[in-house]
Structure 1
Amino acid sequence: MEQTKIVRKNPAGMPDPVGNYTHITKIPRNAELYVTSGQIGVDRNGSIPEPMNEQIKNTFDNIKTVLHSEELTSENIIKVNIWATEKIDWDYLDAEWEELFGNNYPAMTIGYISELGLPEIKIEIEVWAAKV
Structure 2
Amino acid sequence: MVKKIIRAPGNLPFSKAIVHNQKYGMEISGQIGLNSEGKLDVGIEEQTKQTFQNVKDILEEVGWNFDNLIKIRIFLADMKDYGVVNEIYSTYFENDFPTRVALAVKDLPLGALIEMDCTAVGDNIKE
TM-score range with shorter-chain normalisation? 0.7 to 0.9
For 1:17 and 1:7, how far apart are their aligned partners in 2?
22
For 1:53 and 1:84, how far apart are their aligned partners in 2?
12
State the 4+ residue runs in structure 1 displaced beyond 3 angstroms: none
What does residue range 2-81 of structure 1 map to in structure 2 within 5 Å?
5-10=1-6, 16=9, 19-28=12-21, 31-81=23-73
Aligned CA distance change for structure 1 residues 94 and 130 (closer, same or farther; 3 Å) = same
RMSD: 2.1
For 1:103 and 1:131, how far apart are their aligned partners in 2?
17
After superposing the two structures, state which structure 1 stretch, 97-106 or 34-43, moved more.
97-106
2:44–2:85 Cα contact (<8 Å) kept: no
The amino acid across from 1:125 in the alignment is: M
For 1:95 and 1:65, how far apart are their aligned partners in 2?
21
Aligned CA distance change for structure 1 residues 61 and 25 (closer, same or farther; 3 Å) = same
Q: What TM-score comes out, normalization by structure 1 length?
A: 0.81
| Match among 115, 129, 132 for residue 120 of structure 2 | 129
**Structure 1 unmatched ranges of 5 or more:** none
Aligned CA distance change for structure 1 residues 34 and 82 (closer, same or farther; 3 Å) = same
Q: Which protein has the larger Cα radius of gyration, Structure 1 or Structure 2?
A: 1
1:53–1:89 Cα contact (<8 Å) kept: no
Identical positions, percent = 22
Q: Which residue of 2 aligns with 1:113?
A: 105
**Structure 2 unmatched ranges of 5 or more:** none
Return the structure number with greater strand share.
2
For 1:36 and 1:98, how far apart are their aligned partners in 2?
20
